[in-house]
Amino acid sequence: MAMRASVHRFTMRDPADVSQLALAIERGQVNPAHIVAFIGKTEGNGLVNDYTRGYLVLSLKLLLAAQLGKTQEEITRSVIFVFSGGTEGVLTPHYTVFCVDRQAPAATAVPAPAPGTKRLAIGRAFTPVPEPQEIGTRAQVNMVADAVHRAMAEAAITDPADVHFVQVKGGCVTSDVAQAALARGAKLASSDPNKSMAFTRVAGAFGVMQGLGEIAPEAVDEASFFTRPEIWSARASISSGIEVGENEVVVFGNAAGWTSDFVIAHHTMEDALDINGIYACLDDLGIAARGDNRATGIERIVCALVKCEPDARGQVRGQRHTMWQDGDINAQRHIRGAVGGLVAGVLGDTRIFVSGGAEHQGPPGGGLLALIARAA
């Protein structure tokens, strides 16, 4: 017996459309019992009041509950749902399904890799639901760091260097929760829901850094949150929303003992125009596609995960940008559209997971990306 990961990507006509996954299950292409996580893009605004994320979560839970004969609560405790709102520009509403078969037979249609070969490994973990006063604090950092360790263990990854991407989804304080917490004397990192989402992202980023050994626990200081942009992780992608309570963590890496035909690579983007960072990630996967998004091998890409942030200095390579000053369009919507178009142009595919709000996630004003591909 060996562990095997599989990756399946589906598009949607609306946030409730799970018909493509339902058909894949019906045809035997996806075993619903093997699903461990979803990551995808919905066509909302990506802000606090983006209910398209929860709409898709509910639709998928209803499908899985019916297929597996389980309650929605049971699905919630075993499957991670990470959805980012905002399909600006050319981005396509879609979701990627990650499956793990922990008792895969050795003899299958998928050729077994040579002994010692590392293939895609996936692990996930949940934390307790943080108290409102714990959101955006060292307590949340420790929760996420512990979950990263447990997710690595589930993925049988022993070396943090083999981890290429960590996706975290955490909650935020809503207005009513904040008022109730303040009324009982709790001290909050922020009572503003939008700022609370940012605090969750920052605490999550430091949690991933601590969990992967990128920063020592004693070096984590809440005073560094937002103020020390030079402290960042090349592998952390953190999202926040009102549709979750606990922190949900998915670790992606390459490890021996997995027999799937998928591999993952990651790279940073120095700024919003860093096309070379995308090419470097393709190079790591053995895909020569510089300047040609129809090049042989690029069709091997089955999932693209991107994190990005408008440059806080208001410039891109010395030229002024206005993303932070636009009163009509949120800055994160601007950057998702811009970077999403860049990555989609390189890959020749608009099904890109692009998440804004990259505080301490990738270089300041830049970001990070991870690509999952079928092995050469």
Q: How far apart are CA 67 and CA 22, in angstroms?
A: 9
Active-site residue 355, yes or no? no
Token pair for 220: 């984590």
Q: Check 41, 169, 240, 307 and give the catalytic one.
A: 169
Q: How far apart are CA 207 and CA 201, in angstroms?
A: 10
Residue type, 228: R
Residue in the block written with tokens 């461990």: 36
Write the DSSP assignment of 90-155 as a string of letters: TPPPEEEEEEEEEEE-SSSSSPPPPTT--EEEEEEEE-PPPPGGGTTSHHHHHHHHHHHHHHHHHT
User: What is the phi/psi pair of residue 193, to 5°?
Assistant: -55, -40
> Any residues with CB less than 8 A from the CB of 29 and at least 6 apart, and which?
8
Q: How far apart are CA 277 and CA 346, in angstroms?
A: 11
DSSP 233: B
Over the Cα atoms of the chain, what is R_g? Answer: 20
Residue type, 288: A
Active-site residue 84, yes or no? no
Q: How far apart are CA 81 and CA 60, in angstroms?
A: 9
Helix (H) or strand (E) holding 35: strand 35-42
**C-alpha to C-alpha distances, 155 to 48, 148, 254, nearest whole angstrom:** 32, 10, 9
Residue type, 309: E
Q: Check 84, 196, 237, 239 and give the catalytic one.
A: 239
Residue type, 6: S
Q: Measure CA 6 to chain center.
A: 17
Token pair for 187: 């001290």
Q: How far apart are CA 205 and CA 196, in angstroms?
A: 14
What's the burial of 155, exposed, middle or buried (CB within 10 Å: 0-12/13-18/19+)? buried
Beta-sheet strand order (sheet of 248-255):
119-126, 248-255, 163-170, 236-240
Instruction: List active site positions.
Output: 169, 239
